[in-house]
Amino acid sequence: MGIRERKLKHKEDLKQSILDAAKQLFQREGYEATSIRKIAAEIEFSPTTIYLYYKDKAEIAHALHREGFKIMADQFRVLSYIEDPFERLKAMGRVYLQFAIDYADYYELMFVMKEPIQHISGCFDMEEWKEGAEAFHLLQSNIIACQEAGYFKGFDPTAFSMVVWSTMHGLCTLKLHGHLDHVIREKGLFEGVEDALQHTFETFVQFLKGTK
């Protein structure tokens, strides 16, 4: 590896260290309580070093936001081999749930925290928001394919896609923030059910299947 390649690798490694530290701080202390100075202290660099790569913490949050969508897109991509559109939609739901659990910090940045999307709204044309647009287009395409197979007849595919997404998001958020487990525990719901999250998801799937 030559000098140029080593410098480039050092730069990329440092940028990733900044993102990793920021992600941990956003999750642990919240976005508002996290400062560039705190991020710098986490990786034992000066704030000036961070400003060489990111102009502010909103830009850092946006970079993490994009990184999260890339991970999720990679997981969705392997589902393209599933020919039956309804089975593919079910698989997407399972992947989405598992992504929210396995990458809770990214999920918060992508779908819960308002700051990253505010940064996008302020700096970019929302019609050209590639990451979010591609994710929603994938869902919408599957909904349309399901309609062609006889499901969800009479529904506007865009609106129905929003219903599916918002239902899954609500379930993920309730789980991640502890509300789902609290209500189940306090109210004694789902006795004998080993996994209430999956049980609720499968119930939603049965509801969707009933539209055929």
Where do we find the tokens 């302020």? 122
C-alpha 180/C-alpha 196 separation (Å) is 9
Select, from the ranges 1-10, 14-23, 71-80, 160-169, the one with the highest average predicted confidence (pLDDT).
160-169
- Is the four-CA dihedral 114, 23, 164, 161 of positive or negative sign? positive
Question: pLDDT tens, 178-206?
Answer: 888 888 887 777 776 778 889 899 999 99
Q: What is the DSSP string of 21-74?
A: HHHHHHHHH-TTT--HHHHHHHHT--HHHHHTT-SSHHHHHHHHHHHHHHHHHH
pTM: 0.85
Question: pLDDT tens, 106-160?
Answer: 998 889 888 777 777 766 555 546 777 888 999 999 999 999 999 999 999 999 9
C-alpha 196/C-alpha 85 separation (Å) is 26
C-alpha 71/C-alpha 25 separation (Å) is 20
